[in-house]
Structure 1
Amino acid sequence: MNSVHELLAGLGTLLRGFGLLLRRPRLFLLGALPALITSLLFLAVLITLIANLGGLITWATPFADGWDTPWQGLVRGALSLALLAGAVLIMVVAFTTVTLTLGAPIYDKIAEMVEEDLGGAPEAPEESLAASVARAIRQSIGMVLVSLTVTVCAFLIGLVPLVGWLIGPVLTAVMGGWLLGIELTASAFDRRGLLLVRDRRRFMGLRRMRVLGFAIPTYFLLAIPFVAVVVFPAATAGGTILARELLPAEPPRNTGLTSGPPPPAP
């Protein structure tokens, strides 16, 4: 029952995010812009790829020019499908990271608004722009690579007869939601000087069911084309609320160089 309560509390965190943003329609619409831009950008890339797919595959397979028509069509058709599926997979996996990167100032503003509404937010630690950008790029690349690995592994597991059709989607939802939670809580953790991904994982691990109750529904909503445009601002606000629930009242601070537990009280 405690696990069910935590799952429902996590879902409630997402709903609270919607409630906070709906009271500020301008900020809500502003927060939808990065997701809309990313969606349109990915759509343009996909259309361009489809329009040039035949020529690209022909250029990449000169060895098949002299083959008989059935074999040539079969090989090039299979490669076309594989390339298209791979492009769609990368877009799905990278959508959240790209959107958060493009809309970083907007989502930081949403997180700041949530912190002000709830009270007790500390001042953001000082960090040079170069260090902040380098850290963001490094963490974003790492998250995309991990997400791709999880997605491919879940797909391969899904091919296993009988049990694969169940385990694959469950693994995708749980791991995809967990990684999404890591990204959506970043702003609140950064504000408290907890700059490393392992800092977020450590506190999220203390209340896994609450994190999954928030992250899995958000993951599925963000996977629906263009629904993500509406969900993303609320998910950012919900991620900030979730981080505050995970962190102690007076969270430990560090410079990103260490990630250990807070020192004992004197």
Structure 2
Amino acid sequence: MNGIDCFIEGFKLVRKPGLRRYIIVPTVINIFVLVLLITVSVSQFDYWVDGLMGILPEWMSFLSWLIKLLAVLIVAFLLFYLFTIIANIIASPFNALLSIKVEEHLVGKIPASTTSIWLIIPRAFAREISKLVYFLPRLAGLLLVSIVPLVNTAAPVLWLLFGAWMMAIQYTDYAADNNEIGFSDLRRGLGRSRLQTVLFGTPVYLLLAIPLANLILLPVAVAGGTVFWVNNLRGKILKPVSGESCP
């Protein structure tokens, strides 16, 4: 199953009665986080713009409309990433549970390492920190590339590829962690299937940027990422137990 099909399958799975209840809490968390971020951004927007205008010389005041436009784009960009980061950290234990149930639905059994909810919660939070440590330096590097003349002409393509890669890591990692697969092992596994990884991550990345759609997309991405894990990664990374073969 290719990456796009895995993502589409995620939409189908979250509508199943046995899985639907596992998306309620993550969706409520997503709504709360998004409303909070939008409220803060709207209330502080004029202050941020005034701060930017204060940096410019007075003779450049005619560029105020451009500054406001850039500020809107920057705030929208930061909202996208902050929403994704914060929502995933807070909802990580619930996303892990959803991934467990999706994998159980697909292969007929739950990962052996997920027998206790009390083990899932701290492990899920720790894993999100690992992803942040991996993500933030690369994000900073890409931001620098984006402001370098000439080099920044490639920035849109680099942002798309980077976003797709990070979304694939983010949403296949729940299943990998549930199966006690190390973060570096997951990245290597995804690297061996780069095309399918990008095909899965690209629609997630693009749709997450759409307001309101991103509220329901995160559970869909978790389900789709688990489908991707089962069909494209599980048999390559997970070691069979007692002679069993992985589908």
Distance of 2:111 and 2:142 partners within structure 1: 35
SS of the residue 1:41 aligns to = helix
1:248 to 231, 235, 241: 235
CA distance in 1, matches of 2:163, 2:227: 20
Equivalent residue runs for 1:151-162 within 5 Å? 151-153=143-145, 155-156=146-147, 160=150
Distance 1:208 1:46, change over 3 A: same
Q: Deviations over 1:19-77 (max 9, x none)?
A: 1101134434444223222221221121121143366568x76xx9xx8xx43846988
3-state SS of paired residue (2:192):
helix
Structure 2: give runs of 5+ residues left out of the alignment. Answer: 241-247
TM-score, normalization: structure 2? 0.77
Shift of 1:204: 0.4
CA separation of 1:152 and 1:121: change in aligned 2, threshold 3 A: farther
Alpha-carbon shift at residue 146 of structure 1 (Å): 2.1
Matched, 1:225 2:211: yes
- Unaligned runs of 5+ residues in structure 1 are 1-5, 254-266
Cα–Cα, structure 1 residues 152 and 32, in superposed 2: closer, same or farther, change >3 Å?
farther
Matching residue of 2:170: 183
Deviation per CA, 1:64-113: give whole Å up to 9, x if none: 9xx8xx43846988877766654443322333222111211221121011
Match of 1:22 in 2: 15
- Structure 2 match to 1:199: 185
Match of 2:97 in 1: 109
Contact 1:97–1:183 at 8 Å: present in 2 too? no
Residues 69-148 of structure 1 aligned to structure 2 (within 5 Å): 70-71=58-59, 73=61, 85-118=73-106, 119-124=108-113, 133-148=125-140
Cα distance in 2 for partners of 1:241, 1:128 equals 20
User: Cα deviations across residues 115-136 of structure 1 (Å, max 9, x unaligned)?
Assistant: 1101244222686966764453
Against the structure 1 CA distance between its residues 81 and 221, is the aligned structure 2 distance closer, same or farther, given a 3 Å change threshold? Answer: closer
Amino acid at match of 1:124: S
Cα 1:57–1:217 shift into 2, 3 Å: closer
Count of aligned pairs between the two proteins: 233
Q: Which amino acid aligns with 2:111?
A: P
Secondary structure, counterpart of 1:22 in structure 2: coil
- Let me know the Cα RMSD of the aligned residues: 3.4
Please say which structure displays the higher CA radius of gyration: 1
Q: Choose from 3, 6, 18 the match for 1:13.
A: 6
Matched residues in 1 for 2:21 and 2:125: separation? 27
Q: TM-score, normalised by structure 1?
A: 0.72
Quick check: which one's helix share is greater? 2
> For the Cα contact (< 8 Å) 2:189–2:237, is it kept in 1?
no
2:44 to 37, 44, 49: 49
